[in-house]
Amino acid sequence: MALDIASLLLGDFSYTLRVAFGGIAGWIIGHLIVVAIVSVIILAARDRVALREQLGLSQKRLGLLAALSLIFIAQHIIYSTTLGFPFVGAFVTALAATLFIGWSLETVAPASG
């Protein structure tokens, strides 16, 4: 079969598509999903200034979202590998803790400025 970029990027979901729709149709659908994701990323990058203005995202807010994303990823890795949580349990626990941290930073101790 041809180069399968979708399975590299989509992981097990690509396999699920091939099982559900058949080999060739699943391969095509998987690659269409990858093309759609890349297209959305390119469009968002082109219109990043307009998106920031329309969504009301300041530089400080984007920094907070990036930091919270890194905190979430780090927590998920710790919960799943070090503490042995199942994937969903680690995801939910990391999400709840990250949302609490974000709420605390935004509501309880808002930054001046």
* pLDDT tens digits in sequence order for the chain, 113 residues long: 567 788 778 778 888 888 888 888 888 888 898 899 999 989 888 888 887 788 877 788 888 889 999 999 999 989 988 888 888 888 899 999 999 998 888 887 666 55
Return d(Cα 94, Cα 77) in angstroms, integer: 9
Model pTM?
Answer: 0.57
Return d(Cα 105, Cα 102) in angstroms, integer: 5
The SS3 call for residue 58 is coil
Write down the residue that tokens 């503490």 correspond to: 83
Write down the residue that tokens 């203005």 correspond to: 53
In 1-113, which residue ranges form alpha helices assigned H by DSSP?
Answer: 5-10, 12-21, 23-46, 48-55, 59-77, 87-103
